[in-house]
Amino acid sequence: MTLLTIVPAAGVALPVEPFVGRHLIAGAWRDSASGETYERTSPAHGALVSRSALGAEADAEAAILAARAAFASGVWSRALGKDRAAVLLKVADLIEANVERMALIETLESGKPITQSRGEVSGAADLWRYAAALARTRHGESHNTLGDDMLGVVVKEPIGVVSVITPWNFPFWILSQKLPFALAAGCTAVVKPSEMTPSTTVILGELLIEAGLPAGVVNIVLGYGPAVGSLMTTHAAVDMVTFTGSTMVGKAIAGAASKTLKKVALELGGKNPQVIFPDADLDSAADAVTFGVYFNTGQCCNSGSRIIVHEDIADALVEKVVDLSKHVAFGDPLDPRTQVGAIITSQHQGKIDDYVRAAVKAGAEIALGGGPLLVPGLDGQFYQPTIVRGVTPEMAIAREEVFGPVLSVLTFRTMDEAVALTNDATYGLSAGVWSENVHTCLEFSRRAEAGTVWTNTWMDGFPELTFGGVKQSGQGREIGSYGLDEFLEVKTLVMRIGRTRAPWVKKL
């Protein structure tokens, strides 16, 4: 077996009692109308970690109507920008005060390393602070060139009730890319987290109440998509849906929402390339490639899951990535030394392995890994760091989202070929380029069909810089000032000054 860095079970005591999550509706914590619950076991440890209320249509209906009533009341939608900002800033402070508690349950439910969970939860506080700044600076425009007796004003108003549907891979971070911006705009919301990672969303509900958010402004419903999410995308009282998840589900949501012409914002899949030119700093590129494919166990829409490397340096680069991969610490996510944790479910692990087996059958070569990983002392599911060479563009592993720690290696000879391979995908979320020549980087960046292009880096992000994809990676944008605009409607006010309008009706 190839020598890998494996972190065995850390011997950390798991919580004696599971976290208990309930719905938050109209400012009150509620059990499901049916009284039913569901459980989540840790993908790394196999232990019961949370028990949540199992929502159904009645619970979703109550939450939507609560959000509608809160919006209509104006308690939040017509609040002063400084007052909304004050609440968001309090939430940010409370998030930072609860990092350890939230990080632990997120690690237990998702299988991601504890250090990563801490970084995501604490980093999310900055998104709330940035959104608070936008709450005070939102503005429209005026037109005083329409004549002495006319003034035109364009204002931006909150769109209304927003359904927020979040995924399991970054449950708190992605929620924080959406919810604070919707709140900054003055919207009310119904939130449904993934059934696999619901608990940090419930904890956020506690923090929102503590921060003084009025009842009904944010409502949380737990459960499965068909029972809860479907109503959130079709209900007439919902004005907008924002969803992060698979492209397949995103298409279904867009279709369901079209019946009432709701606005839909979608952040979906990606098959993101890093393109490495011959003059690149290979050590830096290899490290970023290694990070890009194994971060969050590759269960990331921004995963750098394929590299397109110039054939003159392909062998050297792959050798470096293979060597670095052997030093990445896979194992118990509760151990601070661990860099890569567990796969979310055994079914998903099987899907990852199917992609690798199919690629080998089609003629590709495994340079490293290529199968499940046994971690001493743990009963969960883990997958080896895997590098597949000899991949050709038509293979599924080169075109589809594997969502695991699997790197596909393709080669090119010219800029045109690199751009063609980059754009020969149904997705267009992100891309990267590695070269010491600024002209090469700029040309590639302008020609790549992607919402974000990183130059000599990978996955750096800031609240100020908007995020989103093109093609089947989604529609709309998150974070940045554009992330606020998603939750706003534009209204034009035409005002005549004085009684200057000539009468249309003339008495004969």
Q: At CA 271, angle to CA 307 and CA 172, rounded to 5?
A: 115
Contact 89, 104 (CB under 8 A): no
Judge whether 301 counts as a catalytic residue.
yes
Question: How many CB atoms are located within 10 Å of the residue 465 CB?
Answer: 12
User: Could you write out the DSSP letters of every residue in 265-305?
Assistant: EEE-----EEEE-TTS-HHHHHHHHHHHHHGGGG-STT---
Amino acid at the residue 74? G
Options 267, 401, 478, 486, the catalytic residue:
267
432 vs 99, 296, 419, CA distance in Å?
31, 18, 11
The answer to whether 161 touches 67, Cβ cutoff 8 Å, is yes
Q: Which residues contact 395 (CB under 8 A, 6 or more apart)?
A: 358, 359, 362, 364, 408
Task: Identify the active-site residue in 109, 301, 401, 486.
Answer: 301
Strands 452-455 and 488-496: unpaired
Residues 6+ apart with CB under 8 A from 318: 309, 367, 387, 389, 409
Q: Give me 125's structure tokens.
A: 């506080």
> Dihedrals φ, ψ of 157, to 5°?
-125, 155
441 as an active site residue: the answer is no
Composition of the chain by helix, strand, coil, percent to 5:
40, 25, 40
List the helix and strand counts (H, then E) for the chain: 15, 27
Of the candidates 261, 308, 272, the one whose C-alpha atom is nearest the C-alpha of residue 414 is 308
The Cβ of residue 342 has, within 10 Å, a number of other Cβ atoms equal to 30
Catalytic annotation, residues: 267, 301
